[in-house]
A = this chain, B = another copy of it.
Amino acid sequence: MTTVRLIEYAEAGPEVRAVFDDIMATRKTDWINNFWKALAHDPATLRRTWESIKQIMGPGALDPLTKEMIYVAVSATNQCAYCIASHTAGARKAGMSDAMFAEVMAVVGMANETNRLASGYQVEIDSQFK
């Protein structure tokens, strides 16, 4: 069970509703996922987190699909079940195919393996990489 009761749109105050409205407009959806309903208990964190995500995940030097796949990669590394589920859905909506998901996972697995080999063997950074 969520630590705090989820706040639904109907019962939200104007500050929370404004963020909820912007989330739905930006994402072109008509529902709010539980993450935001939980954060709604702390309107300042709700607004800050949403504004940050909106700024970061939009198109820039990287396209939104690449960013969503990186989000999935980090969430899988941290093993955050909620974030894996929500951002895999987000990445698919942005165009990630099954084959692309499988390759993201393969890279994530390999990176997690060699991260520990490099640390466990205490490998020193090559001067060429500095």
Interface residues of A (CB under 8 A from B): 1-4, 31, 33-35, 38-39, 41-42, 44-45, 48-49, 52-53, 55-57, 60-62, 66-67, 69-89, 97-126, 128-130
**Bound CA span A48–B72, Å:** 22
Q: Which residues of the partner chain B approach A120 to less than 8 Å between Cβ atoms? A: 3, 72, 76, 84, 104-105, 108-109
Interface of A is mostly: helix
**Bound CA span A77–B44, Å:** 21
Q: Which residues of the partner chain B approach A35 to less than 8 Å between Cβ atoms? A: 114, 117-118, 121, 123
CB distance from A47 to the nearest CB of B (A): 10
Q: Which residues of the partner chain B approach A101 to less than 8 Å between Cβ atoms? A: 3-4
Contact check: which of B31, B56, B122 meets A81 at CB < 8 Å?
Answer: B122
Query: Apart from A1-B130, A38-B123, A82-B124, what 4 extra A-B contacts exist at CB < 8 Å?
Result: A39-B121, A62-B107, A76-B120, A85-B122
CB distance from A109 to the nearest CB of B (A): 4
Whether B123 lies near A88 (C-beta < 8 A) is no
Chain B residue nearest to A87 in the complex (CB):
B111
